[in-house]
Chains A and B, each alone.
Chain A
Amino acid sequence: MSIRISAPDTASKNEVIELKALIQHPMETGYRRNNRGEIIERDIITTFECTYDGDTVFQARFHPGIAANPFLTFYTRATKSGTLEFRWTDQNGQSWAETHSLTVK
Chain B
Amino acid sequence: MSKRVTLSRRHLLAGLAGTAALPVLAPRAIAQTNARLVVIGGGFGGATAAKFLKHFLPNTSVTLIEPNETFVACPFSNLVIGGQREISQQAFTYDGLRALGIDVVHQTAGDVDVDAHTVSLLEGGGSVAYDKLIMSPGVDIRWGALEGYDEAAAEVMPHAWKAGAQTSLLRQQLEAMEDGGLVVMSAPLAPFRCPPGPYERASLIAHYLKTQKPASKLLILDAKDSFSKKPLFLEAWAKLYPDHLEWRGAADFGRVVSVDAPTMTLSTDFEDIAASVANVIPPQKAGEIAERAGVADETGWCPINPLDFSSTLQPDIHVIGDATIAAPMPKSAFSANLQAKFCAMQIARQVAGLDLEPTVLANTCYSYISPDQAISITGVYSNADGQLASIDGAGGLSPENADDSVRTAEAAQADTWFRTITQEAFG
Complex Cα–Cα for A71 and B269 (A): 10
Complex Cα–Cα for A69 and B253 (A): 10
A68 within 8 A of B: yes
Residues of A within 8 A of B250 (CB): 69
Residues of B within 8 A of A4 (CB): 253, 269-270
Complex Cα–Cα for A73 and B250 (A): 15
Complex Cα–Cα for A22 and B269 (A): 9
**Complex contact B270–A6 (CB within 8 A):** yes
Residues of B within 8 A of A6 (CB): 269-270
Complex Cα–Cα for A20 and B257 (A): 13
Nearest A residue to B255, CB-CB: A71
**Complex contact A5–B251 (CB within 8 A):** no
Give the bracket for the number of chain B residues in contact with chain A: under 10
Complex Cα–Cα for A20 and B267 (A): 14
Residues of A within 8 A of B270 (CB): 4-6, 20, 22
Within 8 A of B (CB), among A46-86: 68-69, 71, 73
Complex Cα–Cα for A5 and B250 (A): 15
A10 within 8 A of B: no
Complex Cα–Cα for A5 and B270 (A): 7
Complex Cα–Cα for A20 and B250 (A): 15
Chain B nearest CB, measured from A8 CB (Å): 13
Complex Cα–Cα for A6 and B250 (A): 15
Chain B nearest CB, measured from A70 CB (Å): 11
Within 8 A of A (CB), among B259-289: 269-270
Please list the 3 inter-chain residue pairs (A to B) with the smallest Cβ-Cβ separation, ordered nearest first. Answer: A4-B270, A69-B251, A6-B270
Q: List 17 A-B contacts (CB under 8 A).
A: A4-B253, A4-B269, A4-B270, A5-B270, A6-B269, A6-B270, A20-B269, A20-B270, A22-B253, A22-B269, A22-B270, A24-B251, A68-B251, A69-B250, A69-B251, A71-B269, A73-B269
